[in-house]
Amino acid sequence: MVDCFSEVAQKDSFWLDIENLDMEEVLEKGISKGYEVEMTLDKMEAFAFTLSKMINSRSQFALSHSYAVSRMSYAISELMGYTWEKCRKMRIADLLHDMGKIAIPTELIEKKGELLLSERADLRAHAYFTSLILHHIEGLGEIVEWASGHHENHDGSGYPMNLEDGKITQEMDVIAYADIYTAFSENRPYRDGLKADEISNHCRTKSTLSFFVAITKHA
C-alpha cells in the first residue's frame, strides 16, 4: 500500500484532485443537459475561440496567446502531414489549452518578478483545471487529451499527470512546441519577446533546433 501511495502521490493531479473534489460537483451542476447542441468543426472552433478570448482577456500579455499558438500548431500539423480534419482539431485544442487559467489569480499570471515555489505550483495547476473543465464537455474526444497534456515532459517531470515517454502523444508534443515557441516570441511582464534565431538558440538538442527552424520557415 505504501508503494502504491508513493507512486500515485508523485502526480500533481493526485493532490489537486483531493483539494478540488467539490469542483467536480460544481461542474456537474453547472453544465446542463438542456444546452446540448450538435457541434460542427466550424461551430466548435468558433466556440473555442470565444472561450480563449474570455480567458486571455484577464491578462494583457496573454491577450492573443492562444490564437497565436493555434496558428503555429496548425502550421506544424500541416508539416506533419495530418489530415485537414485533424489539423482543425489541433487548432481547437490550442485555443482551449489554457482554459484552466480561469482558476488562476490574475496577479499571479501578471507577476513581473520571479515566482515563489508555492506560486509556481499554483500556476502549474492550470493544466489540471484545463483537463477538469474540458472533460465535462461531451464531444471533444481526443482534443481534451491534447489540450491538457501540453506541459508533460518525456522524462516524467511534466504536469499535471507526470506522464513519461511512451504515454505522451505526438499531438501533445506539437502543441507543446507551439506553446513554447509562441511564449518565447511574446512580450512578457518579466522579459521582451525573442526573435526567431534567439528562440532557436534556446533549444537544447539538435533535433529540436531543426524542428523550430522548420516551423519558422513554414509559418
Fold of 7-21+39-175: Hypothetical protein af1432 (1.10.3210)
In this structure, what are the phi and psi dihedrals at residue 155, rounded to the nearest 5 degrees? -90, 5
In this structure, what are the phi and psi dihedrals at residue 184, rounded to the nearest 5 degrees? -65, -35
Give the DSSP H/E element, type plus range, for residue 1: none
Q: What cell does 102 get?
A: 480561469
C-alpha to C-alpha distance for 141 and 89, rounded to whole angstroms: 10
Say if residue 218's pLDDT is above 80: no
Q: What cell does 112 get?
A: 513581473
Confidence of residue 206 (pLDDT cuts 50, 70, 90): very low
* pTM (two decimals): 0.75
Q: What cell does 108 get?
A: 499571479
For the chain, give every domain's residue range: 7-21+39-175
Contacts of 45 (CB under 8 A, 6+ apart): 88, 91, 92, 95
Provide the Cα torsion 163, 165, 171, 175; round to 10°.
Answer: 70
Say if residue 171's pLDDT is above 90: yes
pLDDT at 36: 66
What tens digit of pLDDT does each residue of 33-49 get?
555 667 788 988 998 99
Nearest to 15 by CA among 128, 147, 152, 153: 128
C-alpha to C-alpha distance for 59 and 147, rounded to whole angstroms: 20
Residue 39: CB atoms within 10 Å:
15
Nearest to 209 by CA among 201, 40, 103: 201
C-alpha to C-alpha distance for 47 and 206, rounded to whole angstroms: 38
C-alpha to C-alpha distance for 69 and 75, rounded to whole angstroms: 10
What tens digit of pLDDT does each residue of 100-118 get?
888 888 888 888 778 888 8
Residue 72: CB atoms within 10 Å:
25
Calculate what percentage of the chain has a pLDDT beyond 90.
21
